[in-house]
Structure 1
C-alpha cells in the first residue's frame, strides 16, 4: 500500500482518539469519575467499551496470523476468547460489581481482611498488565513498519503518547467514550474489506493471485494437550484480566453487569468472524506470508493484494486505522486499571496520583517492548492469559464462591501459580520456540490446577485465619445491592 495513505490513517485515528478523550475531561471531575466513571455506564455503552479494550493486537492481527499458520487449530483462540466471557457472566460479573471496590486489590482486601493479600494482588495485577501491554506495542511497531516504512519504534511510542494523553485527561469516563468508539471502528475496519474482497472474488470468478495449497506451511497439527491447555488459559485467563474486570465496577448494579456481559458475548461473536475469514483467505491467497515470518501482517496486506489500485489502498488504510485503534483501546484500558492500582496503593489515591500512575504504567512496558520482539502476537498474549489464569483467577473464583479461603491460602496460591507459569514463560524465551517442550510452551493445563490446589490446601490448613467479616462480605457479594466499606 501507499505509505502516505497508511500514515494518514494512523494520524486520523490518533487525533480522533485524543479528541474524544479530551471530551471526557469536560465531565471527569471526581475521583469516582477517574476510577470507575462514577458507576453510571449503561450496558450497551459499557459492552462496546469492553469490546474495544478486549479486542487487542492478538484479536485484530494475531488470530488471523495463527489461522494462516495453523489452520483449524487456531480456531481455539476466538472460541476461547468468547467463551471466557460466558465464564464471566456465570461466575464473576454480578458479585464483583456488588463488591463496591475500585480495583481487584480492593476486592481481595475486603474479602480477606488482609493488607498483605492486597499487596501481593497489586504486584500480580501490575505484572499482568505490563505483560499484556507489551504485545500491543509490538503490534503497533509491526503496523508502522509494514504500512509506512517508518522505524518500528515510532508505532510503540505513538501508542504510549496517545494513551497517556487520553487517560490523563479524563480517566475511566474519558476512556469509556474512546473504547466504545474504537470497537465499532475495529469491526468496520475488518468487515468492510472482507465484504469487498468477497464481492470482487464473486464478480471476477478469480482473485488477483491464484489460490494456494490448503496447508501452505506444512506444520503438524497441535496435539490434544496443547489444545486443552490453550483452552484452559483462555477460559480462566479472561476471568482475571484487570482491565476487563474493572469495567464491571462501572455498571450501576449487578443486573447491569450481567446484561453488559451478555451484550459483549454477542459483540465478540460477530467480531471474530472476520479475523477468521482473513486467516482462511490468507491460506488460500497469501501463503508466502507464513513462510516469510509475516503471518501477523496478513490482515494489513490482504486487501491491497486482492483488490489492488486506489480501492485497495483505501481499504488497507481502513484496516490500518482499525489495527491502531486496537492497540490504543487495549493499552488505554490496561493503563487505566494499572493506574488505579498503583495510585491507590502507592500514591494516595488522588486524581493527581492517578495521572502520575498512568504515565508510569505506560512508560515501563515501553522499555520492555524496545528490548523484546514478538513474531506471534496471539501466541504471546495466550501466555499472558495462562499467567492470569494461574494467579488472579483462582483468588477471584474462590473469593467469590468459597467461604473457606484465607489470606495465607490466597497468597500461597498466587505465588505458586506466578512462579510456575512465569518460570515456564522464561524457559520458553531462553530455549526458543524449537527447543521448548510442549508442556512448557502451553503451561496452563498444569499451572492453573496447581494454583487452585495450593490455595485450597493452604486455606484448609489455616482455617483459623478465615476473617470474621467473611459472612458479611459474602452476603453482600451475593445479595443485591449494597457496596462494601472499601468503596471510596
Structure 2
C-alpha cells in the first residue's frame, strides 16, 4: 500500500468503526418490535431531522450532483432544488396525517385506510422495488469512492457497506440507526464544508482564475436544457419526480412514524428543510471549482468522483491527501446512512409480509417480530448488493432519479388522495399503483438495457414522471369514481383521525 492512500484507508476504517460503535451502543435500548420498526415513536424533531438528513443525503447528493453540474451545467441545479422542495410538499400535505395514522410502514397505512389486503400487497411490492432501486446506486457509489480514494477494487466498497448495514440494522433496527444517521449528517456536512473552505482559499490565493473553457462556460450557465423541446421536457419531468417523489420514498415516510405526534412530524420537516438547504449550497461550489481545476475529469468520464479528486488537483501533496481523506469519510458515511435507512424500510415490509410468514425450522410456529425483521434486513441488502456487483456502471444520480420517479408515480398519488379524498377506493388505488408502476417500469428496463431508444421516445421513457404521475392520478381517481360503492365504511372516521391534532383528541 502506497503512503498516499493511507489517509483514505484510515478515514474509511474510522467511519466504519464509529458507525458500528454507535449502533452497538444504542442496540442495548432496542428490545421490542416497535423499537426495531419505528424506535417506539419517541424520536424528537431535532434528532429526527438530523437522522433524515443523514439518510436522505445519499451518494447522489454527495458526489453525483457536483459531477452532473460539472458536465451538464446549470440545468442540474434542479436536482438539489427538487430534493429540498420535496420536503415542503411533504410538510404541507403529508407529514402530520401520516404520523397520526399509527402505521409502521406504507403498506400498513394503505391497508388501514382502504381495508384491503390487495392494496397492501401492491404497496409491499412497490416499497421493495423502490428501496432496491435506490440501494443500487449506494453500493455502486461506495465502490467508486474506495476505488478513487485508495485504489481498491470496486466490489470492495459495495461489500463493506453491505456488511456494515446488515450488522447495524439487524442488531438494533430503527432505534439504533437513528443516532448513527444523525451523526453521519453532521459528518457529511463537515466533510464537504472544511475542504471547500480550504480550496476556496487556495483559489483566491492563485488570483481566482475562471473556468478553463469560455465557450463551455457560456453554455454551462444556460437556465434551461439546451436540447430543444425534448430537453425542456426532461427538465420539467425531473422537477416533477423530485418535487413529488420525496414523500413516497419508503425510508423517508417511515421516519415520520417515529415522531411522538403529528406536530412533532411537522417540526421535524421544517428543520429538515433548513439542514438540506445548508448542505445543497456546497455541491454547486465544488462544481465551479471543478470547472477551474478538474476539466480533465469530465473529459475522461470521471465526473462522479470529481468531489473526491478535486482536493488533490488543487492542493498536491500531504494537504490534498488529508482533505481527500476527509471527503472520502463523508462520502462513505453517505452510503452507509442512506443504505441503513432503506434497509430498515424494506426490512420492515419484508418482516411483516414475507419473512414473517415463514415457519421456524422444525415447527409450525412462524417467524415474527424481531427475528422476522432481522431476516428481512439480510434479504433487503443482499439482493441489491448482488445486482450491483453483476451490473456495474449504472450511474449514481440517474438511478436515484428513477427511484424518485417511481415513488412520485405510485406512492405520491396514494398518499395525497388517501389523506385528502374520502372517495378513494381499493380498486382505484390498485389501478393507479399499477399504472404508475408500469409507466416507470419502462424507464427502468431502458436503463438496464444496453440498447436505448433515441428521439422523443427515448426521452419519454427515460424521464417518465411528467406523464406517469398524471396517468396514475387520473386512473386512481377514475376507477375510484367508477367503484364509488366500494368506499370503505370507516373512511370518514379514518380521515377525521388523520386531520385531528392529538391535543384535540385527548
Structures share fold, TM-score greater than 0.5: yes
Partner Cα distance (1:128, 1:210) in 2? 38
Shift of 1:368: 1.0
Q: Which residue matches 1:334?
A: 342
**Residue 371 (structure 1) aligned with residue 382 (structure 2):** no
Shift of 1:212: 4.1
Q: Which one of the candidate residues 112, 115, 118 is aligned to 1:116? A: 118
Matches within 5 A, 1:382-397: 382-397=401-416
Partner Cα distance (1:26, 1:427) in 2? 45
User: Contact 1:253–1:481 (CA<8 Å) still a contact in 2?
Assistant: yes
Q: Which residue matches 1:430?
A: 449
TM-score normalised to structure 1 length: 0.95
Matches within 5 A, 1:22-421: 22-205=24-207, 211-213=212-214, 215=216, 221-222=226-227, 223-348=231-356, 349-374=368-393, 376-421=395-440
Deviation readout 1:369-406 (Å, 9 max, x if unpaired): 01223363212211111111111111111101111100
Shift of 1:211: 3.8
SS in 2 for 1:403: coil
Partner Cα distance (1:101, 1:353) in 2? 18
Shift of 1:130: 0.3
User: Contact 1:428–1:440 (CA<8 Å) still a contact in 2?
Assistant: no
Shift of 1:199: 1.2
Runs of 4+ deviating beyond 4 Å? 216-220, 431-434
Deviation readout 1:259-318 (Å, 9 max, x if unpaired): 000000000000011111111211222111111110110100001111221111111000
How many pairs does the alignment contain?
483
Partner Cα distance (1:464, 1:3) in 2? 66
Matches within 5 A, 1:7-26: 7-26=9-28
Partner Cα distance (2:245, 2:218) in 1? 29
User: Contact 2:58–2:338 (CA<8 Å) still a contact in 1?
Assistant: yes
Deviation readout 1:417-469 (Å, 9 max, x if unpaired): 11111113213443656846222221111111101110010111111111111
SS in 2 for 1:239: helix
Partner Cα distance (1:253, 1:182) in 2? 25
User: Contact 1:70–1:221 (CA<8 Å) still a contact in 2?
Assistant: no
Q: 1:329 to 1:353 in 2, by over 3 A?
A: same
**Residue 475 (structure 1) aligned with residue 480 (structure 2):** no
Shift of 1:205: 2.2
SS in 2 for 1:215: helix
User: Contact 1:41–1:251 (CA<8 Å) still a contact in 2?
Assistant: yes
Gaps of 5+ in 1: none
Partner Cα distance (1:7, 1:270) in 2? 28
Partner Cα distance (1:314, 1:214) in 2? 34
SS in 1 for 2:73: helix
After alignment, is 183-192 or 210-219 more displaced?
210-219
Q: 1:466 to 1:375 in 2, by over 3 A?
A: closer
User: Contact 1:61–1:298 (CA<8 Å) still a contact in 2?
Assistant: yes
TM-score normalised to structure 2 length: 0.92
After alignment, is 131-140 or 380-389 more displaced?
380-389
